């Protein structure tokens, strides 16, 4: 049963909804990485990085909701179940336990870098299939690039 029909042709819908599902996994994973680091960060820059991690978590969760709703609007149910995220997620994450502030920054830069790279591939893939979804992915990419820059600026030369 398909309670919501897509406005896209089947081929375009497959491409777009795969891009959306993969983006949903990355965004939910980023929110978990950010919270894990947020709860466990230690070091002299604790407060500023602690707060910046919440910005990434908030943006990731908001974007995840938007991406999931876009998928649903196109007639494909999004899958944000924990087992789906755990099985499909491959971005870098912090180690278990306390996380030094410079290590938290490094893992966020690496995770955001990888997520942005994947988003850029999805932007290319959705260009002809659905410019509306492509535009959504472009906006998400811009914000994640901004967050990546802000984290990267935290670790100057010779730091992490």
SS3 99: strand
- pTM score of the predicted model: 0.93
pLDDT recorded at residue 135: 98
pLDDT recorded at residue 1: 54
pLDDT tens across 106-133, in order? Answer: 999 999 999 999 999 999 999 999 999 9
- Burial profile 139-159: b = 16 or more Cβ within 10 angstroms, e = fewer: ebbebbbebbebbeebbeeee
List strand residue ranges (DSSP E) for 15-77, in order: 41-42
pLDDT tens across 62-101, in order? Answer: 999 999 999 999 999 999 999 999 999 999 889 899 999 9
What is d(CA 5, CA 116) in angstroms, rounded to the nearest whole number?
Answer: 30
Per-residue pLDDT at 156 exceeds 70:
no
């Amino acid at each position: 049963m398909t309670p919501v029909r897509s406005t896209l042709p089947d081929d375009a819908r497959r491409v777009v909804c795969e891009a959306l599902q993969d983006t949903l996994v990355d965004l939910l994973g980023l929110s978990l990485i950010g919270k894990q680091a947020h709860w466990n960060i230690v070091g002299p820059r604790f407060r500023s990085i602690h707060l910046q991690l919440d910005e990434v978590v908030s943006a990731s969760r908001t974007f995840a909701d938007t991406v999931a709703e876009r998928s649903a609007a196109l007639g494909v149910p999004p899958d944000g179940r924990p087992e789906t995220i755990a099985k499909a997620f491959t971005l870098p994450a912090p180690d278990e336990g306390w996380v030094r502030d410079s290590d938290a920054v490094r893992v966020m830069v690496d995770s955001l870098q990888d997520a942005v790279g994947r988003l850029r591939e999805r932007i290319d893939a959705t260009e002809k299939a659905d410019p509306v979804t492509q535009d959504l992915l472009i906006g998400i990419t811009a914000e994640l690039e901004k967050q990546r820059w802000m984290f990267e600026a935290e670790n100057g030369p010779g730091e992490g």
